[in-house]
Amino acid sequence: MIVAIQEYFADLSRCVTESWTQFWFRAAEAKTLSMLRIGIACIALLYVLGYTTDLTFWFAADGVLPVSRVYEISGINDPESGASYWSLLYYFQDPTDLWILHAVTILTLLAFAGGLFSRFTAVASFILVLSYAQRSPIVLTGLIEPILCPLMLYLCLGPCGAHYSIDSVWRKRLGKPTIGKTYAANIAIRLMQVHLSMFFVMMALSKLGASYIWWNGAAMWNVLARPDSPLIDFKFLRSSPLVVYAWTHAIVLFELAYPVAIWVRPLRPLMIAVSIPIWILYALASGNWLLALLMLVMNLAFFTPLAVRPPGDATTGDENAASSSKKIPAHA
Amino acid sequence: MPLPQPTTPDPQPLSSNARSLLSLALIAYLFGLWVLLSCPLGNEYMSGLHKRLGGLYQAVMGESLAISVTGSPYYIHSGEPFSDDHLLVIELTEGERAGETVTINDQFAAGSQAQQRLRLLAIYIALQVRIGEDAPPAQFAKSLAAHTFQETGATRGVFRLRRHMFQPMELAAGAAEDPDAASYFETVYEADVWLDRDGQVQVLKRSSLEHVAPAVESQS
């Protein structure tokens, strides 16, 4: 009996160790990471560009949220609170200085999206976007900042400019080899996948824990009937309450299913396909379009580009069939 | 035929020590991440241990890397009044545009992030009012009034934070069909705002006139 228990735990230990090693410590190509660089950088660019109309309204010394008020609200100067928020924007309060920093941020993000000096612009973009996110914590922080900032941090960990970038074109012109498989690329992608899955779990649990309205199906009516938030007036659904209830249940079910089903290879394309209408409708009904866009882009984290056959490579029908079987997205 | 571009060789397998160190770092990070992401459910959902761990990781990771979701819960609508839309309004009573009502939320394009931020601010002020805090609403009333006075040339007005309730799915008999009807508005906070002789904005909360909002800072 004792031997059987020992064997069980030995097997369990071996199995967990092998799975963990295979999951985290496998060298991977940086193509997915490079695609995510473009997508996330574009979202970050939209996020920062969104401040162009109200930058000084909030952040100038005579604006609505001067630094002293942010310190007071977030408890930055309070030794008891010990808050550790920080932002470059705390040091820029003059409107001219703010505009200069804003322009620098936009240019940095454009360079990052294009893959110019990717290693440097990845870190610079992260610090700059974090500075916007942290400028007014608690008051102006929505749901986009806590997911966008860590994703930008993960991009700094791997060679996100290895493909689809100005850096890669440059490297090619200089005759340098393309960046192949790396451990850092795999770890960065895995962190994104795990983070996203945890986020989905909490989105679902939070809805179910917040109120009974996510159980009785009324929640989506509360969202879409708000007079000022939705991008499209969905109140015509008043005559079809069952559709509203189904919509509410579909969102909760999707958020519960996504973090599990996305890891199952046959279900992955289905989850990605379902996520498209879910997030588009979410954006239209809630007005939170940037978060929806980011979530759609993050589907790429579970996608590996199809293998590109070298030109002129003649293949038979059987070889075609064999190669198409290899085109299943990896990361399983 | 062009030769395919060479790629860098595959990396050497990681040593056991490197894997162990990386694993430790990953486990610590992922554990902290889960603690932080699970905090926004609220205090009543957290054990004493969860609260302590949340406080620890909040300071180490949550605040410095903007990972924490504490200030922004995941649900879109909780069914509570503070999840409704709120509007920041100033009714101008003296000056060039006296008699006009300025809705500050409408100063930015509909659906823009700027408008969303104003909505977040309005909800934050509403929360402060509901928990009985007087200072933050007065400070924001002062800043927003200063901005509006500067834009409009007005010198006195009434600042209001109004909750814009949504229509229920089944309209009761006699309920207004217009979603912008007065019955769908609730004034959460109301204060007189005016420019004093020094050009500073002053605020006096209306519902309790004996209670003058503290003048922590002034806006000219």
Residues A125-139 have a mean pLDDT of 92
d(CA A155, CA A164): 15
Cα separation values, A146 from A22, A141, A195, B54, B200, Å: 28, 8, 11, 15, 37
Contact yes or no for B147 and A64 at CB 8 A = yes
Q: Is B185 helix (H, G, I), strand (E, B) or coil?
A: strand
A238-247, B56-65, B195-204, range with the lowest pLDDT = B56-65
d(CA B102, CA A160): 47
d(CA A54, CA B109): 11
Q: Is the pLDDT assigned to residue A309 strictly greater than 50?
A: no
Q: What is the mean pLDDT of chain A?
A: 88
Residues B71-93 have a mean pLDDT of 84
Contact yes or no for A139 and B40 at CB 8 A = no
d(CA B220, CA B210): 25
Q: Is the pLDDT assigned to residue B219 strictly greater than 70?
A: no
Contact yes or no for A64 and B34 at CB 8 A = no
| Residue A249 or B134, more confident | A249
Give residue B160's pLDDT band: very low, low, confident or very high (50, 70, 90): very high
pLDDT of residue B103: 93
Q: Is the pLDDT assigned to residue B2 strictly greater than 80?
A: no
Contact yes or no for A86 and B166 at CB 8 A = no
d(CA B55, CA B35): 10
At residue B150, φ and ψ (nearest 5 deg) are: -65, -40
Task: Kindly report the number of other CB atoms within 10 A of residue A216's CB atom.
Answer: 12
User: Which amino acid is residue A273, in one-letter code?
Assistant: A
Please compute, for residue A291, the number of CA atoms within 13 A of its CA located in the half-sphere on the CB side.
26
d(CA A259, CA A192): 12
Q: Pseudo-torsion of CA A122, A258, A144, B63, nearest 10°?
A: -80
- Are B116 and A142 a contacting pair, CB within 8 Å? yes
DSSP category for residue B81: G
pLDDT of residue A223: 92
Q: Give B28's contacts in chain A (Cβ within 8 Å).
A: none
Residue ranges per structural domain of chain A: 26-179, 197-307+324-332
Nearest to B37 among A202, A210, A223 (CB): A202
A21, A174, A211, A229: which to substitute to probe chain B, counting the most B Cβ within 10 Å?
A229
Tokens linked to B158: 């009434």
Q: How far is B73 from chain A (nearest CA, A)?
A: 7
pLDDT of residue B40: 77
Q: Give A288's contacts in chain B (Cβ within 8 Å).
A: 76, 116
Q: What is the pLDDT of residues A49-107, one digit of tens each?
A: 999 999 999 999 999 999 989 888 888 877 777 777 889 999 999 999 999 999 999 99
d(CA B141, CA B201): 9
Residues A1-20 have a mean pLDDT of 93
Of the candidates A296, A282, A302, the one whose C-alpha atom is nearest the C-alpha of residue A42 is A296
pLDDT of residue B57: 87
Residues A111-123 have a mean pLDDT of 96
- Are A291 and A142 a contacting pair, CB within 8 Å? yes
pLDDT of residue B71: 62
Tokens linked to A285: 């009904």
Q: What is the pLDDT of residues B113-149, one digit of tens each?
A: 999 999 999 999 999 998 888 899 999 999 999 999 9
pLDDT of residue A303: 82
Residue ranges per structural domain of chain B: 16-62, 81-167+181-205
- Are B122 and B108 a contacting pair, CB within 8 Å? no
pLDDT of residue B72: 63
Q: What is the pLDDT of residues B5-17, one digit of tens each?
A: 788 888 888 899 9
User: Which amino acid is residue B168, in one-letter code?
Assistant: P
Q: What is the pLDDT of residues B12-45, one digit of tens each?
A: 888 999 999 999 999 999 999 999 998 877 777 8
* pTM score of the predicted model: 0.89
CB-based contact (8 Å) between B25 and chain A?
Answer: no
Give residue A327's pLDDT band: very low, low, confident or very high (50, 70, 90): very low
What ipTM score was computed for the predicted complex, to two decimals?
0.88
Alpha helices, DSSP H, located in chain B: 16-37, 48-57, 113-130, 135-152
Q: Is the pLDDT assigned to residue B209 strictly greater than 50?
A: no
